Amino acid sequence: MLKASAIAAATCSLLALAGCGSKQDANKSNFQAAIQDYLDTKKGVCVMVPAKELPFTLQKSGGMNFINEPEKAAALVGAGLLSAKDTQVKAAFGNQMVAGVEYSLTDEGRKYLVKGAAGNLGNWDAFCGGKYKVKDVENFTQPADMFGTKISQVNYLYEVDDAPAWAKQPAIQAAYPSVQHDLSGAPGDKAVLVATNDGWMHERLFKSKGG
């Protein structure tokens, strides 16, 4: 019996050196894996197409712009994701035709276009590329019970691997500040993780699975 106990203790010691532990443990390694599982579901760095459908037209001057469509469209043209040609469009006010621009998807843009990836209420399309990766877990709160589940809030740093060249262009980053933020070295973010029987899980994944 003593011999068996000694063997078990020695085995656990060896496993500990290799990262022995339960997936339910509250530690940086488990939290990093849980956050990465969530980040793996994202499409990478995304920039919203400034219209519901492609191709689309915008009035050259005047009109009503709610999401900086001209600036975003011009940046996407400069990045080679959209093409532009002059056309006539109906004025925002009145029935007359005025100068406008028609924007269409390029072959390069087609490589990165992801349906419904903009994340807005209309599920607009977006150009996406790269892969989010957890760089470090900085700290976390001690797990606490909340509404029948055990949770921990985690502060972490992330980076974007294989970011496409267009995402690094100044015009894109000016029109889409979130891209500049994501590519600025190792920005920080927060995550709420939920303890499950299979280990820790990002709250958004937990909810998507019916939690």
pLDDT tens, residue by residue, 5-62:
444 444 444 444 444 579 999 999 999 999 999 999 999 999 999 999 999 999 887 6
Q: pLDDT exceeding 70 applies to what percent of the chain?
A: 88
pTM of the full predicted structure? 0.84
| Band of pLDDT at residue 2, cut at 50, 70 and 90 | very low
What does the alpha-carbon distance between residue 176 and residue 159 come to, in Å, rounded to a whole number? 17
The pLDDT of residue 64:
62
Lowest-pLDDT range, 47-51, 146-150, 200-204? 146-150
154-180: average pLDDT: 97
How does the average pLDDT of the chain come out, rounded? 89
Which is more confident, 14 or 109? 109
